């Protein structure tokens, strides 16, 4: 009986180790930048985890810096949120509690007085 218990324990530990490694690999893959693709971007963020890696690519390549509001909207579509004059917000990741978003990441673009993008970042938020 003790051998069976030890075998079960080893099996459980092995499964946990495999799941742990798989989780780390999955997290690593999601964190890597992915080249921007407008068709994928347009699918939205609800069922797809592609927007955040694409936003990271845009930030790393500084692809939006210096672009006007209209140029950004031609690339990403209309902004969903943000200060209408100084910022543009694009949702890139959401965590839901039933149907309500409780946390997420937004691609935030900061604009200067001539409506040119001067800064791009991914900002995390959490509902209180």
Per-position b or e across 37-76, b if 16+ CB within 10 A of its CB? eeeebeeebeeeebbbbbbbbbbeeeebeebebeebeeeb
Above pLDDT 70, what percent of the chain? 72
Chain segment 13-40, per-residue pLDDT in tens: 454 444 444 444 444 445 688 899 999 8
**pTM for the full predicted model:** 0.70
Chain segment 47-62, per-residue pLDDT in tens: 557 899 999 999 999 9
């Amino acid at each position: 009986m003790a051998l069976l218990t030890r075998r079960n324990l080893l099996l459980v530990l092995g499964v946990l180790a495999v799941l742990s490694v798989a989780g780390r690999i999955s997290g690593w893959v999601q964190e890597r930048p992915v080249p921007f693709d407008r068709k994928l971007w347009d699918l939205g963020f609800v069922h797809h985890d592609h927007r955040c890696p694409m936003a990271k690519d845009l930030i790393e390549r500084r692809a939006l810096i210096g672009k006007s509001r209209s140029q950004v909207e031609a690339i990403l579509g209309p902004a969903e949120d943000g200060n209408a004059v100084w910022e543009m917000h694009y949702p890139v990741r959401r965590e839901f509690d039933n149907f309500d978003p409780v946390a997420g990441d937004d691609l935030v673009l900061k604009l200067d007085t001539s409506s040119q993008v001067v800064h791009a970042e991914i900002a995390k938020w959490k509902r209180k």
